[in-house]
């Protein structure tokens, strides 16, 4: 997606060799017009299954806005976001999965209340970043527990050098990434051609 790549080049900031900071348009301040385009692009990428999406799954917090714009493009299926903390209000039953947070370097569990995910639900996973694949694999694990089906994973930025995309594809999960960063070096961001 050229406008996304251009935006990453213009406003993305490389932090060391692992982290890309895109908080001016993706995960702190949000460029709503760009998010509309991102939603439409996911719809184009998943055009063959676009009529089958029962739910969009993501993880709080930065996945939520992207997932909501994707939902708009897919005809408004509900967005269900996994919670990272167990809230007081969540006294009902839930599915959970242990995931490692790459940016925070901590283990945490993500959880979705059972009432929001049912056997046979066909789900798309949408997230802002795909790095080591922990968040997406955790959501796949939760979907497995529910007997839900994953149609694919759509991510705004995949950092291919961290292996998450490969891990998912090896498991037979379809992955669509709108921009693929292959390397971050000396403050420069390289894209897969
Ligand atoms: P993964 O679970 O694939 O290792 O990482 C995915 C999550 O970590 C994303 O939802 C995102 O919140 C966060 N993340 C991973 N890499 C980056 C990065 O380079 N920049 C930012 N801002 N977040 C990242």
Per-residue pLDDT of 122-147, as tens digits, reads: 999 999 999 999 999 999 999 999 99
Does the beta carbon of 74 lie inside 6 Å of ligand 1? no
State the average pLDDT for the chain: 95
The pLDDT of residue 88 is above 70: no
pLDDT in tens, 18-42: 999 999 999 999 999 999 999 999 9
Q: Name the residue among 155, 160, 157 with its Cα closest to residue 183.
A: 160
The whole-number pLDDT of residue 38 equals: 98
Predicted local confidence at residue 127, as pLDDT: 98
Q: What is the pLDDT of residue 105?
A: 79
Distance (angstroms) between ligand 1 centre and the Cα of 107 equals 14
Say how many Å lie between the CA of residue 68 and the centre of ligand 1.
18
Q: Is the pLDDT of residue 86 over 90?
A: no
Q: Tell me how far apart the alpha carbons of residues 46 and 56 are, in angstroms, rounded to a whole number.
A: 13
- CB 81 near ligand 1, within 6 Å: no
* Cα-only R_g, the chain: 16
**Residue located nearest, by CA, to atom 14 of ligand 1:** 129
Q: What is the mean pLDDT of residues 142-167?
A: 98
* pLDDT one-digit tens code per residue, 42-55: 999 999 999 999 99
Quick check: 89 pLDDT over 80?
no
Asked if residue 87 has pLDDT above 70, the reply is no
pLDDT of the residue at 92: 81
Residue 90 confidence (pLDDT) above 60: no
Residue 103 has pLDDT above 90, yes or no: no
């Amino acid at each position: 997606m050229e406008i996304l790549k251009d935006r990453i080049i213009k406003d993305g900031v490389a932090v060391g060799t692992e982290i890309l900071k895109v908080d001016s348009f993706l995960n702190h301040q949000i460029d709503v017009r760009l998010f509309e385009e991102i939603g439409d692009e996911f719809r184009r990428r998943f055009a063959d299954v676009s009529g089958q999406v029962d739910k969009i799954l993501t993880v709080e917090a930065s996945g939520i806005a992207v997932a909501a714009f994707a939902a708009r493009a897919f005809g408004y299926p509900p967005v269900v976001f996994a919670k990272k903390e167990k809230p007081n209000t969540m006294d009902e039953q839930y599915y959970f999965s242990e995931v490692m947070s790459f940016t925070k370097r901590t283990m945490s569990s993500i959880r979705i209340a059972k009432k929001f995910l049912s056997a046979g639900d066909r789900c798309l996973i949408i997230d802002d970043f795909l790095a080591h694949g922990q968040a997406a694999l955790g959501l796949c694990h939760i979907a497995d527990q529910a007997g839900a089906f994953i149609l694919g994973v759509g991510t705004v930025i995949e950092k291919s050098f961290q292996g998450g995309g490969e891990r998912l594809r090896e498991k037979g999960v379809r992955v669509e990434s709108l921009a693929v960063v292959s390397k971050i070096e000396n403050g420069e961001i390289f894209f897969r051609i």
